[in-house]
């Protein structure tokens, strides 16, 4: 076909060697063992170029498996506005990734025809970047070959955090209106906003940052240069150990303890990124009980909501609506605090930032965070205009705040600066922030099963539909654990496991509840290995 360049030759380079492995564009794109992903990456290059032609805009592709282990890798496709790939194209991505080599050409031709893609007079431009995984370099080559198959152009940014690529794609497509489309532009915009926002306080700040041995380490070194007059960072897990191993946001959240390499000291703020720096959680040593305390995505959402509510009031803009979007993993007490104490609306959507982002867009200000530390804040263009028209000092602060937020996707670096700026402006300590509400004790577990797709859910994943009888069995168990007990299960979109969440009045109850529900999953869905 004339609109495809050397497809047959390229296909020989990237054959689908393991057609029995179903590749799925899941919670955050493709994710699997890196060595199964070469043909998927090549085909994603084709798909991204087609999406670029259809939208006549630049599309991004990030090569990363985020919080997963080093041997995994993955692909996240980025829309022209910097958000995640639209849902209707997720199915196309899954389709093109799994079609047999013999049918690939026909599959592409059908897609072009059905979507009426103009292959002549449109641009096919793809920006790509990768995290620090070894496999990222060769996967980049496969992606580039896919782009070339569609006569596309590409710009390879090498190593970037996932949110940096999202940011750059948005900037490039908005002709610079959102910012300068470069890594330097990102550092300059965020650091300038942070320094302006905190200029009335003389306090010097410091954070110990666990970079999960990932791409965030090097990027923090570059960012710090712009910020040293106000904030410094002590970086740990900067690539001297194994990626996401015994460290990183996911490890800290799931195990509810600091990374192995960190010894907690009083009066310090600690933060952990994940492997591609799109998630962050905070923690500290509480002097009163001498214990580790975690401040996860829920605590960040609450801090931001409280701050923005106060600032809008002070700027005489209290008619602007704020909504907080969470998932079923949100701690019950965080939702209570948002609704009862802050008197704000909240909503619950399925896991995956794409769902939260979509819901948050429906509000004037949408604050969304997953409990795992993945989230951001969205300001409608109308609200940004209204704030810009106000001349008072508080409205100016709001504008700096907006500039500090990476509105395209959750961003560990941006979110860290947001939190530090708020604590500085409100002049509160980390334990004062922590005491806004007490987390209900909770436990996360995972169970490996023969086929996790036998589990289906509804009601924003809070109820299990299939296998039949499992939900009523869960309900019965939950009822044994007191009025505050809650538990749900869902198949992961990034790992081959079923996740179990439980919360209850005490840690012991939460742990036991999670184990009991885990055993039910094991029984109903053909568990692998031993029970809890
Ligand atoms: C991705 C998604 C998140 C999601 C997480 C876990 O994060 O972007 O929205 O919460 O996976 O998903 P699951 O429970 O389905 O495995 P990341 O940081 O790995 O890209």
> In the CATH hierarchy, which fold is given to the domain comprising 7-159?
Alpha-D-Glucose-1,6-Bisphosphate; Chain A, domain 3 (3.40.120)
Q: Rounded to the nearest whole angstrom, what is the distance from the C-alpha of residue 494 to the centroid of ligand 1?
A: 6
Residue 472 backbone dihedrals phi, psi, to 5 degrees: -70, -30
Q: How far is the CA of 435 from the centre of ligand 1 (A)?
A: 27
Q: Is 495 in the pocket of ligand 1 (CB under 6 A)?
A: yes
Q: Output the CA–CA distances (angstroms, integers) from residue 367 to 220, 394, 403, in the order listed.
A: 24, 19, 15
Pair 430, 475: CB distance under 8 Å:
no
Q: How far is the CA of 109 from the centre of ligand 1 (A)?
A: 32
Q: Which helix (H) or strand (E) holds 126?
A: strand 125-130
In this structure, what DSSP letter does residue 352 have?
Answer: S
Q: Spell 83-115 as b/e; 16+ CB within 10 A means b.
A: bbbeeebbebbbebbbbeeeebeebbeebbeee
The protein residue with its alpha carbon nearest to ligand 1, atom 6, reads: 494
Ligand 1 atom, smallest distance to 353 CA: 9
Q: Which of 25, 26, 28 to mutate to test the pocket of ligand 1 (most atoms within 8 A of CB)?
A: 28
435 is catalytic: no
Distance 248 CA to ligand 1 centre (A): 14
Any idea what the Cα angle at residue 29 is, between residues 43 and 210, rounded to 5°?
A: 125
N-to-C CA span, the chain: 56
- Residue identifier of the C-alpha nearest atom 1 of ligand 1: 28
**Strand pairing report for 322-326 and 345-348:** parallel
**Around Cβ 349, how many Cβ atoms within 10 Å?**
21
Q: Is 492 in the pocket of ligand 1 (CB under 6 A)?
A: yes
- Ligand 1, atom 17: closest residue by C-alpha: 66
Peptide bond preceding 467 in cis form (omega within 30 of 0) = yes
Q: Where in the chain is the domain with CATH 3.40.120.10?
A: 7-159, 180-437
Distance CA 400, CA 415 (A): 14
Q: Which CATH number fits domain 180-437: 3.40.120.10, 1.10.3720.10, 3.40.1390.10, 3.30.70.330?
A: 3.40.120.10
CA 381, 171, 78, 223 dihedral sign is negative
CB 275 within 8 A of CB 74: no
Does residue 499 have its Cβ closer than 6 Å to ligand 1?
A: yes
- CB distance 250 to ligand 1 below 6 Å: no
Q: Is the CB of 296 under 6 A from ligand 1?
A: no
CA of 162 to the centre of ligand 1 (A): 13
Write out the residue limits of the CATH 3.30.310.50 domain(s) in the chain.
442-524
Burial of 160 (0-12, 13-18, 19+ CB in 10 A): buried
Report the atom number in ligand 1 closest to the C-alpha of 274: 18
Q: Is the pTM of this model over 0.75?
A: yes
Is the minimum distance from the CB of 65 to ligand 1 under 6 angstroms?
Answer: no
Q: Is the CB of 253 under 6 A from ligand 1?
A: no
Q: Any residues with CB less than 8 A from the CB of 74 and at least 6 apart, and which?
A: 28, 29, 30, 31, 32, 37, 63, 64, 65, 66, 68, 494
CATH superfamily of 442-524: Alpha-D-phosphohexomutase, C-terminal domain (3.30.310.50)
CA distances (Å), origin 510, targets 334, 464, 468, 471: 17, 19, 24, 18
Q: Pick the catalytic residue: 57, 66, 272, 334?
A: 66
Q: Whose Cα sits closest to atom 5 in ligand 1?
A: 352
pLDDT in tens, the chain (532 residues): 578 999 999 999 999 999 999 999 988 899 999 999 999 999 999 999 999 999 999 999 999 999 999 999 999 999 999 999 999 999 999 999 999 999 999 999 999 999 999 998 888 999 999 999 999 999 999 999 999 999 999 999 999 999 999 999 999 999 889 999 999 999 999 999 999 999 999 999 999 999 999 999 999 999 999 999 999 999 999 999 999 999 999 999 999 999 999 999 999 999 999 999 999 999 999 999 999 999 999 999 999 999 999 999 999 999 999 999 999 999 999 999 999 999 999 999 999 999 999 999 999 999 999 999 999 999 999 999 999 999 999 999 999 999 999 999 999 999 999 999 999 999 999 999 999 999 999 999 999 999 999 999 999 999 999 999 999 999 999 999 999 999 999 999 888 899 999 999 999 999 999 999 999 999 999 999 889 9
CB atoms within 10 A of CB 244: 25
Dist CA 79 CA 133 (whole Å): 23
Is the Cβ atom of 372 under 6 angstroms away from ligand 1? yes
């Amino acid at each position: 076909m004339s609109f495809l360049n050397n497809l047959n030759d390229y296909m020989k380079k990237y054959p689908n060697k393991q057609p029995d492995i179903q590749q799925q564009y899941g919670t955050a794109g493709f994710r699997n063992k890196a060595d199964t992903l070469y043909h998927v990456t090549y085909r994603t290059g084709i798909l991204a170029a087609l999406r670029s032609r259809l939208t006549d805009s630049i599309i991004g592709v990030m090569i990363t498996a985020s919080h997963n282990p080093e041997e995994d890798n993955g692909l996240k496709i980025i829309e022209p506005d910097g958000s995640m790939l639209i849902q209707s194209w997720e199915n196309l991505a899954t389709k093109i990734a799994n079609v047999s080599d013999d049918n690939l050409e026909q599959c592409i031709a059908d897609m072009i025809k059905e979507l009426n893609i103009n292959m002549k007079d449109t641009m096919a431009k793809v920006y790509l970047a990768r995290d620090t995984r070894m496999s990222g370099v060769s996967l980049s080559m496969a992606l580039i070959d896919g782009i070339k198959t569609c006569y596309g152009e590409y710009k390879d940014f090498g190593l970037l955090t996932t949110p940096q690529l999202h940011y750059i794609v948005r900037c490039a497509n908005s002709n610079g209106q959102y910012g300068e489309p470069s890594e330097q532009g990102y550092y300059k915009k965020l650091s300038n906003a942070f320094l302006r926002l905190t200029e009335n306080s003389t306090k010097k700040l410091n954070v110990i940052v666990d970079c999960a041995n990932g791409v965030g380490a090097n990027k923090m070194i570059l960012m710090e240069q712009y910020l040293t007059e106000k904030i410094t960072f002590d970086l740990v897990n900067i690539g001297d150990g194994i990626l996401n191993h015994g460290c990183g946001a996911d490890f800290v959240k799931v195990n509810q303890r600091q990374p192995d390499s960190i010894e907690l000291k009083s009066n310090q703020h600690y933060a952990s990124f994940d492997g591609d720096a799109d998630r962050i959680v905070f923690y500290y040593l509480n002097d009163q009980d001498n214990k580790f305390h975690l401040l996860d995505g829920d605590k960040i959402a609450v801090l931001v909501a409280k701050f923005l509510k106060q600032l809008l009031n002070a700027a005489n803009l209290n008619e602007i609506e704020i909504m907080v979007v969470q998932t079923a993993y949100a701690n019950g007490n965080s939702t209570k605090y948002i609704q009862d104490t802050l008197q704000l609306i909240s909503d619950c959507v399925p896991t995956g930032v794409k769902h939260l982002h979509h819901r948050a867009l429906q509000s004037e200000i949408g604050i969304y965070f997953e409990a795992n530390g993945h989230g951001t804040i969205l300001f409608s263009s109308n609200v940004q205009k209204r704030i810009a028209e106000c001349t008072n000092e508080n409205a100016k602060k709001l504008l700096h705040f907006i500039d500090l937020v990476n509105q395209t996707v959750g961003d560990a670096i941006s979110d860290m600066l947001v939190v530090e700026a708020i604590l500085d402006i409100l002049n509160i300590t980390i334990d004062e922030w922590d005491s806004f509400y007490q987390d209900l004790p909770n436990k996360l577990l995972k169970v490996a099963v023969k086929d996790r797709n036998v589990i289906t859910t509804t009601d924003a994943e809070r109820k299990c539909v299939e296998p039949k009888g499992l939900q009523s069995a869960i309900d019965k168990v939950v009822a044994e654990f007191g009025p505050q007990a809650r538990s749900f299960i869902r198949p992961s979109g990034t790992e081959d496991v079923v996740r179990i969440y439980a919360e209850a009045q005490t840690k012991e109850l939460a742990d036991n509840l999670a184990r009991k529900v885990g055993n039910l999953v094991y029984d109903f869905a053909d568990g692998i290995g031993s029970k809890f």
